[in-house]
Amino acid sequence: MRFAVEVWLAVDPLDMRAGLDTALARVVKVFGAAHPHHAYLFSNRRANRLKVLVHDGIGIWLAGRRLSEGQFVWPHAGSEPKQHALTQEQLAGLVVGLPWQRIGPNGVIRVV
């Protein structure tokens, strides 16, 4: 089963107490709509927690992840652009704390 074809990262932080409706409202505000088979990622201010909202074509999923140490590599709040498209490889790197911006196609790491 394939949940998300496209993955999007929002730069500005989200309160991690936010539930499904609040996260969905933020997706609509930042991205214009919640498209089927898209995943939307948000972090808190400290970048040690993230939430992902997935529209699987039938319903909405909301999941969270917290690092016990360190931070996720996240763009600074207020920076432009306000959103980034991620590849599946970049997503895999991001959720384990790697510098996802340096991960290229097929998992190749390049120097930025």
Tokens, residue 91:
């997503």
For every residue of 67-81, DSSP letters joined together read -SSS----PPTT-SS
CA distances from 103 to 67, 85, 90, 95, 110 (A): 20, 13, 6, 13, 6
| Helix, strand, coil share (%) of the chain residues, nearest 5 | 25, 30, 50
* pLDDT band for position 83 (cuts 50, 70, 90): confident
Tens-digit pLDDT profile for residues 6-36: 999 999 999 999 999 999 999 999 999 999 9
The pTM assigned to this predicted structure is: 0.84
